[in-house]
Structure 1
Amino acid sequence: MVDRIAARRVVDIITGAWQSQALYAAVALDIPDHIAAGHTTDEKLAAAAGASEDGITRLMRLLTAMQVFDGTGEDGYRPTAVSELLREEADQSMKDMVRIYGEEFHRAWGAVVPAIRSGTSGFTHAFGVSLHTYLRGEASAGLKFQRAMNAGNVFFPDVLDAFDFSKAGTVVDVAGGSGALLATVLRAHPEVHGVLFDQPHMVPIARRHLDAAVGPGRYEAVGGDVFQGVPGGADAYLLARVLQDWDDERCVQLLSHIRRAMPDGSRLLILERVIPRDGSAMLPLLWDLHLLMAAGGRERQLSGYQDVLRAAGLRLESVHPLALETSLLVAAPV
């Protein structure tokens, strides 16, 4: 006799992707913004979104059950805290995060079997190029990816509680993207001077963001290759969600460059998800497999981070839990 509980569990798992794609459809059709603009019935939503009323009714029925929206198509839908995060003008909008997961990453996960068989990224199987090459060649995708990354930065303020920046004169954000983490530090510590170091094409983006966030004069934005060297002499180095994209050999190469740049009293702050040894936390496990699909990278257990740090002449000094099952690993020169 079939175990009904087990059968239900199988069904719940295999239909999970349908929920994420329904959320993507809401974002692609700008439904959260349409509702905020007063298009709150099925008929008005369909007209505003350029969609069939029947399709909207069925989509919204599911999204309401998922608690993305509240209300009905006859009396009018109402936003929730979830849908507010998906509006274009929302503070730290997650709209682009939903878009890239519903588009490029959804296609990458379609290659999950060849990715696991080969040990190479699902993205490369699906698109014929690596994620990094794709983002450099597709300007709109690169901006979407950066905005998606920024939307996932809710744990950045936690770093201020976990590490004392008051004695740091200069902080270098290595591969810092648009500078969201560096801006968080500089806003909290006006005495600190920041250096944003990333690929040359990211420098103009970082400057625009940092000028708006903290104003010119508080930072430098420097272009370069993190695998060739990083700016030296800083009191603290930031490395947020970078090691997850690379294998151990490349991580050691990158960390070795940072170690050579660090004075003896400097500290390296690494923000990554750590896989617990007992496998009890689901989010790091999901992200670990997603990184194989997206960039060919991986999450690591704490021992894995210790190994690459040790090989680069660094030692793990402390570990601090942050939001969204992320951790701050503080490393010091050996």
Structure 2
Amino acid sequence: MPDQKAVRRVVDIITGTWQAQALYAAVAFGLADHVAAGDVTDEALAARTQASPDGIRRLMRLLTAMDVFERTPGERTGEAAGSDADGDTPGAPRSGGYRLTPAGELLRADSPQSMRDMIRIYGEEFHRAWGAVEPAVRTGTSGFQHAFGKTLHEYLRDPQAGAKFQRAMNAGNVFFPDVLDAFDFTHCRTVVDVAGGSGMLLGTVLRAHPHLRGILFDQPHMLPVARTHLDEAVGRGRYEALAGDLFEGVPPGADVYLLSRVLQDWDDPRCTALLSHIRAALPESGRLLILERVVPDDGETLLPLLYDLHLLMAAGGRERDLAGYRAVLASAGLRLESVHALSLETSLLVAAVA
């Protein structure tokens, strides 16, 4: 007889993508927004979304079991006879409704901490990229390129795709405030966020330290989103948004350079190239702050390992262990000075001139 615990473990793993896609369906249908607006029954949600009532009922039943929604008090019709262990008659309609859980709140469009854009890109582009896991692992090239016929970076040159990706990245930025506790910016004057995207990390640092001046450096098509965010976060007088290619050079002379989730996209030679440009720009007393997930030596912490393989699917990149980060830093004339744990199993690596 097979080991029942092992069988259940395999079943739980292979059905995991179904939960992810159910969460994507919740975002695609705007279910959290509709429930928040008062459409709290299966019938009302089906009418609002113009979807199958039976399909909505079954989707909501799963999402409730996943703790995205919860049931409000109510009774099923005809529960006096033939009820199940909870007093419910299987298949009968409820007179109660739904309400949002804390996880469900993160699916709302108007939530400041909304993760809906992250869920969208994981349920659409990244879901397709993972469908090419076999050729990606076989060839060592990105699943995204196999699925879309172009690299992720080429795909993101489209303004709409780039903006969608930045919104998704923003939803996963909950560890940015942790940087303020891990590194002392008191004696710094200028901070450059290299490949700074929407400017959320730079904005977080500048808001906390009014004496700082910031420079956001990224490709031209990324700057409009960054300017919009930074204008609102800190005002126009405290930052510059400069366009350029990080593989050709970075703005010189800052006290601190930020590099958040950039090295993960590139192989070692490319990482060495971009780090060498930062080393050339960095004063002897300056510091480079790297935000990445570090693969643990014991291999038991799952999230960095998941993201390591995801980076192969998405961009042909990789997460590294500490030895890997030390190696690419050393190849560019830098040394790893300290490591600080942040939220979501992310780390802040502080690098200095070797």
If the TM-score is normalised by the length of the shorter chain, which range does it land in?
A: over 0.9
Provide, for residues 280-316 of structure 1, a one-character-per-residue CA deviation record: whole Å limited to 9, x for no partner. 1100000000000000000000000000000000000
Pick aligned residue for 2:136 from 115, 120, 123 = 115
CA shift for structure 1 position 156:
0.3
Structure 2 counterpart of 1:253, one-letter code:
A
- 8 Å contact 1:111–1:122 — kept in the other structure? yes
2:306 and 2:344 mapped to 1: Cα distance?
12
- 8 Å contact 1:92–1:150 — kept in the other structure? no
- 8 Å contact 2:163–2:225 — kept in the other structure? no
Pick aligned residue for 1:130 from 151, 176, 197 = 151
Structure ID, larger Rg: 2
CA shift for structure 1 position 145:
0.8
2:238 and 2:288 mapped to 1: Cα distance?
21
Say if 2:171 is the partner of 1:151. yes
1:222 and 1:205 mapped to 2: Cα distance?
13
* Range that drifts further, 171-180 or 67-76: 67-76
CA shift for structure 1 position 50:
1.2
CA shift for structure 1 position 264:
0.3
Report matched runs for 1:35-184 at 5 Å: 35-71=35-71, 74-137=95-158, 139-184=159-204
2:223 and 2:16 mapped to 1: Cα distance?
38
Q: How many equivalent pairs are there? A: 333
CA shift for structure 1 position 227:
0.2
CA shift for structure 1 position 141:
2.0
For normalisation by structure 2, the TM-score amounts to 0.93
Structure 1 counterpart of 2:266, one-letter code:
W
- 8 Å contact 2:272–2:331 — kept in the other structure? yes
2:59 and 2:51 mapped to 1: Cα distance?
11
1:27 and 1:204 mapped to 2: Cα distance?
26
Structure 2 counterpart of 1:42, one-letter code:
D
2:255 and 2:235 mapped to 1: Cα distance?
22
1:307 and 1:211 mapped to 2: Cα distance?
38
Report matched runs for 1:208-287 at 5 Å: 208-287=228-307
Tell me the residue number matched to 2:34.
34
Q: CA RMSD in A?
A: 0.7
Counterpart of 2:157 in 1: which secondary structure? helix
Counterpart of 2:113 in 1: which secondary structure? coil
1:104 and 1:204 mapped to 2: Cα distance?
23
Counterpart of 1:78 in 2: which secondary structure? strand
Provide, for residues 83-123 of structure 1, a one-character-per-residue CA deviation record: whole Å limited to 9, x for no partner. 11110011031001000000000000000000000000000
% identity of equivalent residues: 72
Uncovered stretches (5+) of structure 1, i.e. residues with no partner: none
2:163 and 2:31 mapped to 1: Cα distance?
22
1:279 and 1:76 mapped to 2: Cα distance?
43
Provide, for residues 10-63 of structure 1, a one-character-per-residue CA deviation record: whole Å limited to 9, x for no partner. 111100000000000000000000001100000000011110100000000000
Tell me the residue number matched to 1:199.
219
* Range that drifts further, 167-176 or 199-208: 199-208
CA shift for structure 1 position 216:
0.9
Counterpart of 2:338 in 1: which secondary structure? strand
Tell me the residue number matched to 1:313.
333
Uncovered stretches (5+) of structure 2, i.e. residues with no partner: 73-93
1:206 and 1:140 mapped to 2: Cα distance?
14
2:221 and 2:131 mapped to 1: Cα distance?
30
Counterpart of 1:86 in 2: which secondary structure? coil
For normalisation by structure 1, the TM-score amounts to 0.99
Provide, for residues 247-278 of structure 1, a one-character-per-residue CA deviation record: whole Å limited to 9, x for no partner. 00000000000000001000000000000111
Structure 2 counterpart of 1:109, one-letter code:
W
Structure 1 counterpart of 2:176, one-letter code:
F
1:49 and 1:168 mapped to 2: Cα distance?
52
- 8 Å contact 1:234–1:266 — kept in the other structure? yes
- 8 Å contact 1:42–1:74 — kept in the other structure? no
2:17 and 2:28 mapped to 1: Cα distance?
16
- 8 Å contact 1:236–1:269 — kept in the other structure? yes
Provide, for residues 218-256 of structure 1, a one-character-per-residue CA deviation record: whole Å limited to 9, x for no partner. 101000000000000000000000000000000000000
1:301 and 1:217 mapped to 2: Cα distance?
39
- 8 Å contact 1:284–1:299 — kept in the other structure? yes
Counterpart of 1:228 in 2: which secondary structure? coil
- 8 Å contact 2:162–2:222 — kept in the other structure? no
Counterpart of 1:136 in 2: which secondary structure? coil
2:225 and 2:4 mapped to 1: Cα distance?
53
